Amino acid sequence: MPLWKDRKLGLPVKEAVKLFPELERYMDEHGRLDFSNRKVRILYNRAIAKAVFHLDIDYHPRGLVTTPISRYLFLKTFLRGGERVLEIGTGHTALMSLMAEKIFNCDVTATELDDEFFEYARRNVEKNRARIRLIKSDGGIIRGVIPEGERFDVIFSAPPYYEAPTKGVLTEKEGVGGGLYGENFSVRLIDEVLDYLKPGGKVALFFPDKKPLLDAITEKGKELGYSLKDVKFKAGTRWRHSLILTL
C-alpha cells in the first residue's frame, strides 16, 4: 500500500512545499494552505501524486481537480492485481488508469471524450512511461468505442452526475449525466458493459454521498441481474461510495 514515510496515506504540507516551493506563498502564519484556491489544490495534489504514488501528473486548467488519495481508495475496493481493466472517461489526469497500471499491475485500456483532456491524458501516460491503451471516444460510452469481442475483468468509471454543466467544474461534454439525478450516463454504462465483461466480471462506479443517485443506479443494476455491493469510504472530510456490480 502506498504510504508516506510517516506511514500515513497523505502528505504533510511542509513536504508538499519542498516539491513545489511556490506553495509557500499561499501558506498562512500557522503553515496552512488556502485550499479554496484552485492553483493550491492542483499543486498540492500533484505533490501527493509524486511523493506517495510516484506519479508525475499535469492537470488541465479547467478540469476537475481529482484527488489521488480518493481515487486510490476507490480502486482498492475492487482491484486485486493483474486484471484486464477498462476505464470509461479517464479524464485529463488519467490518474486512475495510471494507478491501476503502476500500483495494481493491471492491463489497462482507457477512453476519453474531450479532445483537450485526451491530449493531457496522453501526455500523462507518456511521461509516466505507462503501457495504457488510450482510445478517443466520439460520444459513445462503450458500444461503438471498444471493439466488439473484447472482454474485461473489471470496467470502472467516475461518472458525471450533474444535470447540467457547472461553470468552472465540468466541461459541456463532461456534464452529460441527464436524468433527475444525473444518473442516465451510469444507467447506460451498466447496460452496455454486459457485452464486454468476462464471466464473473465487475463494474465499479465512483460516486459522491448522494443517496438518490445511488438508489437510481442500484435499482437499475438489480433489474439487469447484477449483485451489488456499496463500499462507503472517507477521503479527507468527504464520504465517497464505490458501487460494485458483479455478474
What residue spans define the domains of the chain? Answer: 13-53, 68-246
Residue 78 to residue 160: CA distance in whole angstroms: 20
* Tens digit of each residue's pLDDT (9 = 90 or more) over 150-191: 999 999 999 976 544 444 444 444 444 566 667 888 999 999
Mean pLDDT over 57-65 rounds to 92
* Entry pTM: 0.91
Q: What's the confidence (pLDDT) of residue 167?
A: 47
Quote the mean pLDDT of the chain: 90
Residue 7 has pLDDT above 80, yes or no: no
CB 227 within 8 A of CB 100: no
* Tens digit of each residue's pLDDT (9 = 90 or more) over 220-230: 999 999 999 99
Closest CA to 22 of 47, 45, 43: 43
* Fold classified for 68-246: Rossmann fold (3.40.50)
Q: What's the confidence (pLDDT) of residue 237?
A: 85
Please list, in sequence order, all residues whose beta carbon lies within 8 angstroms of the beta carbon of residue 34, skipping any fewer than 6 positions away.
26, 28, 40
- What percent of the chain stands above pLDDT 70? 90
Q: What's the confidence (pLDDT) of residue 64?
A: 87
Mean pLDDT over 57-86 rounds to 95
CB 90 within 8 A of CB 97: yes
* Tens digit of each residue's pLDDT (9 = 90 or more) over 73-120: 999 999 999 999 999 999 999 999 999 999 999 999 999 999 999 999
Which alpha helices (DSSP H) does the chain contain, by range? 13-19, 38-53, 68-76, 95-102, 115-127, 184-192, 211-223
Q: What's the confidence (pLDDT) of residue 166?
A: 46
